Structure 1
Amino acid sequence: MSVTRYRRFLKLCEEWPKDESKKGRDLGTFLRQRIASAFREGENTQISDPEKCDQIYESLARINSNVYKEKFPRAKDTSFTGVTVEECRMLLATGSMQQMNEAKRGMWKTLMGRFSSKPGEGLPEKPEK
């Protein structure tokens, strides 16, 4: 029976879309890694809890086939902030995340420089009277 489960998970991995804009943070890549580790021995893997395994598969299959998207359609393709799906994808792309992290580091260095205790760095020295 684990042969059937293994093949179903492999088929799900093939169908699950990859998001190339999220290198290393893609849900499809994560699922492939988890399935590979769960089925280390391939078709010969012994499953300790077959019911839970089947339940996980069914849940992932429902997500992949957009069951809930069709069951509960959205009135608009925006969030409560008014940001569109495409704008969210741009913001969550790996390149954008790296730019934001660099900007945070730059701001942190600026703040640390301003509050540094060394003369000549950060706060200006007090003028002598």
Structure 2
Amino acid sequence: MSAARYRRFLKLCEEWPRDESKKGRDLGTFLRQRVTHAFREGENTQLSDPEKCDQIYESLARINTNVYRERFPRTRDTSFTGVTVEECRMLLATGNMQQMDEEKEGLWKTLTERFSTKQDVTPEKAPENK
């Protein structure tokens, strides 16, 4: 029975889309890694909890076939901020995320330099009273 579960997960992995704009953060890639990890021995893998495995498969299959998207259609294709789907995809692309991280780092560096005490400057000695 484990062989059938393994084949179902492989078929699901083939159907699950990959988002090339999110390298290393893509849900399809993550799913493939988890299936590989869970079924280390391929069709010969012995599962400790087959019922839970079936539940996970059914949940992922419902997401992949857009069951909930069709059951609960959206009235608009924007979020509460008014950002469209395409704008969200552009903002969440790996290249943009790296650029934003670099900008954050630059801002943080600027702030720490501005507000840090200068440790390399030593205070002048006060003249001694004789």
Q: TM-score, normalised by structure 1?
A: 0.91
**Counterparts of 2:50 and 2:109, CA distance in 1:** 53
User: In angstroms, what is the RMSD of aligned CA positions?
Assistant: 1.4
Q: Give the letter aligned to residue 4 of structure 2.
A: T
Point out 4+ residue stretches in structure 1 off by more than 6 angstroms: none
**Counterparts of 2:25 and 2:69, CA distance in 1:** 22
After superposition, give the CA deviation of every residue in 1:66-113 in whole Å (9 maximum; x if it has no partner): 000000000000001000000000000000100100000000011011
Q: Residues 1-129 of structure 1 correspond to what in structure 2 (within 5 A)?
A: 1-118=1-118
Q: Give the letter aligned to residue 99 of structure 2.
A: Q
After superposition, give the CA deviation of every residue in 1:17-43 in whole Å (9 maximum; x if it has no partner): 000000000000000000000000000
**Counterparts of 1:120 and 1:56, CA distance in 2:** 59
Q: Give the letter aligned to residue 77 of structure 2.
A: D
Aligned to 1:126: none
**Counterparts of 2:7 and 2:111, CA distance in 1:** 54
**Counterparts of 1:27 and 1:119, CA distance in 2:** 47
Aligned length in residues = 121
**Counterparts of 1:119 and 1:45, CA distance in 2:** 61
Higher CA-based Rg: 2
Shift of 1:119: 7.3
Task: Identify the structure with bigger relative contact order (alpha carbons < 8 Å, sequence gap 6+).
Answer: 2
Q: TM-score, normalised by structure 2?
A: 0.90
Q: Secondary structure at the match of 2:13?
A: helix
Q: Where in structure 1 are there 5+ consecutive unaligned residues?
A: 122-129
What percent of counterpart residues are identical?
A: 81
Q: Give the letter aligned to residue 31 of structure 1.
A: L
**Counterparts of 2:120 and 2:112, CA distance in 1:** 13
**Counterparts of 1:56 and 1:118, CA distance in 2:** 56
**Counterparts of 2:65 and 2:119, CA distance in 1:** 62
Shift of 1:116: 2.1
